[in-house]
Structure 1
Amino acid sequence: MATHRRRTRFRPCIDLHAGVVKQIVGGSLSTDESKLQTNFVASQSPAYYAQLYRDNGLTGGHVIKLGPGNDAAARTALSAWPGGLHIGGGITEQNALEWLAAGAEKVIVTSYLFPSQKFSLERLQVLERLVGRERLVVDVSCRRRGEKWVVAMNKWQDLTDMEVDQASLKMLEEHCSEFLIHAADVEGLCQGIDEELVQRLGEWVTIPCTYAGGARDVSDLELVDRLSGGRVDLTFGSALDIFGGKTVRFEELVMYNKAMASV
């Protein structure tokens, strides 16, 4: 009997900043708000986007809280689609169960795993025991340094002691069910994905993995599928029409996912 390889699919996102859905140039996030470069500020609520994704059967999307003041907004999104979205941004052992109870399908963690910017396996194991491996996503969003990618935390401003490579991902896979990876250097620029990183991820990962950063055309889905062997999914942000973009129609992505589901 023929076996079919996994195919790349579109994963939706809701990025929250100061309680509002926004699309931001990732590299501009910092403690200095005057440096923030914003591509889009929504007039619609977080719940509107959650309902839109729900109506179109777009599973595995993520809600990311970029800094403080986003908890109430995040809760409205989760309540619009209980069990349909992942939540990230400030997740710790103190609040992980609370966010699952609020309706998140999974919790996404980064900064908590890197006290003083150094990886703590103990903290990862604590979270795994608390919520279960299947409900835990590790965000290994990164910045490129020479020929390497280094995990970045605190709004992608602080580099950690972890390189994104086969060894680190293999270790992390034992304790989580998915990866989320923002390529922070190209996030929000709509100038193309980090093709080398996507190809490497396709070689390294064995669990579901979602890449975000630089996607600008619906054909990027086929590009990621080819580069990663279908092992990496793709998020669109600033290029997408529902976020004020000009080059990617939401309807096209929904149709693509439906086509992939029937392959």
Structure 2
Amino acid sequence: MILYPAIDLKDGKAVRLLRGDMDKATVFNDDPAAQALEFVAAGCEWLHLVDLNGAFAGEPVNAAAVEAILSQSKTPAQLGGGIRDMATIERWLDKGLARVILGTVAVENPALVREAAAAFPGKIAVGIDARDGRVATKGWAEVTDVDAVELAKSYEDAGVAAIIYTDINRDGAMQGPNIEATAALARAVTIPVIASGGVSSLKDLKDLRDCGAALNGAISGRALYDGALDLKEALKALAG
């Protein structure tokens, strides 16, 4: 199981939010590229990047910070937030992103997701962010009536590389991931699933690994910044 360290970008800085609330942002590093290099030095296989401003704006906002990370690190990175058309997808992949995450458009424009997955095999992931099982869009500002598991199943034949499932109520709260819901979603599809939201300890990672569903990986942010989770130790434990 892969551990994806998260770098959430707001106003050009690396931050963490509490349950997706932009007014509850804690700045952890003024230099996101330096933060990325710290994670890379610890041995991570991937980086998980989120353009928080972009998710609300519907277009990339923290492009300069993302480009700085891509120019300074050769570790594969995936990015979500504000990516809602083919031109933006192509632009990011041309700049060196390994994978683009489509969230809002996965609900509002499924045809775009399918078109992108066909055009760029292995490089398109679907981000499913849910509150109480219902999908939220536009930076989690709007909760829809769409069921998270049903949305995941609708992409079974689309050729997407991964589904990133976030339980919004757990995100940044340091209360542990929603293992039951994550495992249920992973069992419902054959697409690789990455767990996100609430991973706050080595025990959480091991519980996800041993949940009975074959998860591709887990994303952790605040726990790494707060020191509750040691990245080198976690990577070693998951490798073992």
TM range, smaller chain: 0.7 to 0.9
2:231 aligned residue: 250
Please state whether the residue corresponding to 2:191 is helix, strand or coil: coil
Pick the structure with greater CA Rg: 1
Please state whether the residue corresponding to 2:155 is helix, strand or coil: helix
1:220 aligned residue: 204
1:58 aligned residue: 44
Q: For the structure 1 residues 103 and 127, does the alpha-carbon distance in structure 2 shift closer, same or farther, using more than 3 Å as the test?
A: same
Q: What's the offset of the Cα at 1:70? A: 0.9
Please state whether the residue corresponding to 1:63 is helix, strand or coil: strand
Q: What's the offset of the Cα at 1:83? A: 6.1
Please state whether the residue corresponding to 2:170 is helix, strand or coil: coil
For the residues of structure 2 that align with 1:253 and 1:39, how far apart are their CA atoms? 23
For the residues of structure 2 that align with 1:207 and 1:129, how far apart are their CA atoms? 15
**Stretches of structure 1 lacking an aligned partner (at least 5 in a row):** 1-7, 30-35
For the residues of structure 2 that align with 1:195 and 1:84, how far apart are their CA atoms? 26
Pairing partner for 1:197 from 175, 181, 197: 181
| Mean Cα deviation higher: 70-79 or 225-234 | 225-234
Relative to the length of structure 1, the TM-score reads: 0.80
Q: For the structure 1 residues 254 and 153, does the alpha-carbon distance in structure 2 shift closer, same or farther, using more than 3 Å as the test?
A: same
Amino acid at match of 1:103: G
For the residues of structure 1 that align with 2:28 and 2:35, how far apart are their CA atoms? 13
**Stretches of structure 2 lacking an aligned partner (at least 5 in a row):** 55-60
Whether the 8 Å contact between 1:58 and 1:254 is mirrored in structure 2 is yes
Q: For the structure 1 residues 65 and 228, does the alpha-carbon distance in structure 2 shift closer, same or farther, using more than 3 Å as the test?
A: farther
2:134 aligned with 1:141? no
Q: What's the offset of the Cα at 1:161? A: 4.0
2:89 aligned with 1:102? no
Relative to the length of structure 2, the TM-score reads: 0.88
1:48 aligned residue: 34
1:108-127 matches, cutoff 5 A: 108-115=101-108, 120-127=109-116
Please state whether the residue corresponding to 2:136 is helix, strand or coil: strand
2:147 aligned residue: 163
Pairing partner for 2:7 from 7, 14, 17: 14
1:3 aligned residue: none
Q: May I ask how many residue pairs the two structures share in their alignment? A: 232
2:58 aligned residue: none
How big is the alpha-carbon RMSD for the aligned residues of Structure 1 and Structure 2?
A: 2.0
Amino acid at match of 1:218: L
Whether the 8 Å contact between 2:186 and 2:192 is mirrored in structure 1 is no
For the residues of structure 2 that align with 1:11 and 1:228, how far apart are their CA atoms? 20
Q: For the structure 1 residues 113 and 205, does the alpha-carbon distance in structure 2 shift closer, same or farther, using more than 3 Å as the test?
A: closer
For the residues of structure 2 that align with 1:83 and 1:101, how far apart are their CA atoms? 16
For the residues of structure 1 that align with 2:16 and 2:72, how far apart are their CA atoms? 21
Q: Larger % of strand: which?
A: 2
Amino acid at match of 1:125: R
Instruction: Give the share of equivalent positions with the same residue, in percent.
Output: 22
Q: For the structure 1 residues 61 and 228, does the alpha-carbon distance in structure 2 shift closer, same or farther, using more than 3 Å as the test?
A: farther
